[in-house]
Amino acid sequence: MDNLVLAFAIIGALGVGAQWLAWRFNFPAIVLMAIAGVLAGPVFGVFSNPDAPAGAPPMEFLFGDFYRPIIAIAIAVILFEGGLTLNFGEIRGLMKGVRRLVILGAPIAWILGAVAAYLIAGLSWQAALLFGGVMVVTGPTVIIPLLRQSRLNQRPATLLKWEGIINDPIGALLAVLVYEFLVFGDLHASPGEIIGSIVAAAILAGSFGFGLGRFAAMAFRRGWVPEYLKPPVLLTLVLVCFEATNLLQEEAGLLAVTAMGVTIANSRIASINDLRLFKENITVLLVSGVFIMLTANLTFESVAALEWSSFWFIAAMLFVVRPVTVFLSTIGAGLSWQERLLVGWIAPRGIVAVAVSSFFGASLMAEGYIDGEKLIPLAFAMVFATVTLHGFTIGPIAKALGLASRDQPGVLIVGASPWSTALAAKLKELETPVLIADTSYRRLKPARLANVPTYYGEILSEVTEHHVDLNRFGYLLAVGGNESHNALVSTDLAPELGRASIFQVNARGKEEEDRQALSYTLQGRTFLHSAAPLDELQRRHYSGWVYQRTRLSEEYPPERYLDDLGDEYEIVLVIRRDTLMFASKEAPLTPEIGDTVLAYLPKAPDPKPEKTKPAGDENEIKTPPPVEA
């Protein structure tokens, strides 16, 4: 292939397609992307070119001099976006654990990984030291998707996220340190001078990232940049930060952009959520595309270079190096044994490990270290092993240790009222996790009396993020009395829950063409088929309407059920194969056999009497099928 536009189109389709399949079937996204890249690359040769030399990596030949800059830019943006999610408020009570994993854990992992690479993988001590540094990384490209799918509790999820994002640049700098020793140690610099220069460069890079982050935050707060220019300005600053510090010291840019992201994340910028959303969208595309490019760049020759010792090395990294690192570094850190056990198992490697290994593997070979060629297939093998094993086991192991929710995705109800309290009580009866949030302690009183879980406070506050684990919820009902607040809640939580899972009750029943009505782009789906406003739902509640649950079957099919309901009813939700489906004006529900239907009725209807048949008819129905009330 020599058409770059077609190549980008295929890469995008494979990457985004893998992400969609992962979401649709609840598979680890990184695993599907790796499979897609391998199939497109070495298996089917989609990106191969007949003019390429035998054994040449197809993607490097296709993109030429642009291949490494594309990977470098993508990693810079990914690490910045990871830093942009690190708010210091998250780690209250976990600061000691995070510090131990980074300050103590990284050196321990480096030493143990280097020993394993030397004794088991058969690398020279020079290559083993460098590869041990690379294996310190457990980056956000794989950690964040795993956390998104596994629904971990907040503490272990925070530990894994902070460790992964901070350790990425640390691992790269350790590899730089070893490389500088190997290349310049015997020439004009002493070991002390090399270490001093790298430490100084790291301090300068972190300071530069911090300063640029503070400057961006100040510019945004003072209105020096209009809203529509903030995302592109920020993206440009990330690239400037990355390349400027790389000119100072190779790979120091990774540390600089991470520091810049953390600085902006903790600078109290009003538009921080919009910036995070923009960066997250870019990162999803970059992670998808770059991982496809890296895996498609594999060749059968590089895979064939792996020996049985390589697989024993991977086993040692998984079952010895990582657990020992975590248990030693977190002694006295205030973590439970379950948290230490889970963190000691989960350490997937991703794009940064592969990219850094590719760069230094080629550089070592150019300096005469023959086993540098083993670094690339070893890194890929480590990535495949970790993303597959950790991707498929993080959920079951976390549930077994009591560190993840065993329940189905819950329902977050924002806005307390007698009607919403009755709905929440019925959801709880259906064994669906539910929480009612409101800023009025008085309005929450009926829910507390009904023993329904409540949260007193503003759901949009940053403080709420540290008290309410939003990962437990898969649906949002914005049903407060303030329509603007309902829309704000729907818009703010849409990136986390998805627009299709957010439903909103119109506070006053305005029509779309009303000039005072909010734009539909700011709102969730309109709750209920009839789009009844809150006042009407409250009227129904006080006039005696009740919720009724009914299981449909072949003996009691949907047609008969709907006929028995009469003319006045609301279908609230349908439970189909353990999945909640709420009714909305935009997507009416049609009950099917096997569904459990929750309806809202003036009163519990009595089943219609069966038509009697002539005496002696063997098919006479003695009693009608029961309806659960």
Rounded-to-integer distance, Cα 318 and Cα 346, Å: 9
Strands 473-478 and 410-414 turn out to be parallel
Strands 546-551 and 502-504 turn out to be unpaired
Q: What's the pLDDT at 267?
A: 84
Q: Is the pLDDT of residue 204 over 50?
A: yes
At the second CATH level, the architecture of 4-67+87-184+282-400 is: Up-down Bundle (1.20)
**Please, which residues have CB within 8 angstroms of residue 86's CB and are 6 or more apart in sequence?**
161, 162, 165, 166, 261, 262, 265, 266
Establish how many alpha carbons lie within 13 A of residue 67's alpha carbon, considering only the half-sphere containing its beta carbon: 19
Give the model confidence (pLDDT) of 323-345 as tens digits.
999 999 999 888 899 999 999 99
Q: What's the pLDDT at 512?
A: 46
Average pLDDT in the 507-526 region? 57
Sequential DSSP letters for 413-457: EES--HHHHHHHHHHHHTT--EEEEES-TTTTHHHHHTT--EEES
Give the model confidence (pLDDT) of 230-265 as tens digits.
888 999 999 999 999 988 877 788 888 888 988 998
- Percent of the chain exceeding pLDDT 70 equals 87
Q: Is the pLDDT of residue 447 over 60?
A: yes
Q: What three-state secondary structure class fits 603?
A: coil
Residues of the chain with CATH 3.40.50.720: 410-601
Average pLDDT in the 505-513 region? 57
Rounded-to-integer distance, Cα 500 and Cα 66, Å: 39
The CATH code of the domain at 410-601 is 3.40.50.720
In the structure, what pLDDT confidence band is assigned to residue 629 with cuts at 50, 70 and 90? very low
Give the model confidence (pLDDT) of 65-98 as tens digits.
888 888 888 888 888 887 887 777 766 667 788 8
Q: What's the pLDDT at 140?
A: 66
Q: Is the pLDDT of residue 423 over 90?
A: yes
The label of the residue with tokens 């009866």 reads 429
Average pLDDT in the 492-516 region? 68
| Max Cα distance, the chain (Å) | 110
Residues of the chain with CATH 1.20.1530.20: 4-67+87-184+282-400
List the one residue out of 361, 376, 360, 378 whose CA is nearest residue 316.
Answer: 378
Give the model confidence (pLDDT) of 122-142 as tens digits.
888 888 988 998 888 886 667
Q: Is the pLDDT of residue 606 over 60?
A: no
What is the distance, to the nearest Å, from the Cα of residue 35 to the centroid of all Cα atoms in its chain?
A: 19
**Encoding tokens for residue 443?**
């309005």
List the one residue out of 235, 227, 239 whose CA is nearest residue 269.
Answer: 227
Q: What's the pLDDT at 59?
A: 84
Average pLDDT in the 166-178 region? 79
Q: Is the pLDDT of residue 316 over 90?
A: yes
What per-residue string of b and e applies to 106-128 under the rule 16 or more CB within 10 Å gives b?
A: bebbbebbbbbbbebbebbebbb
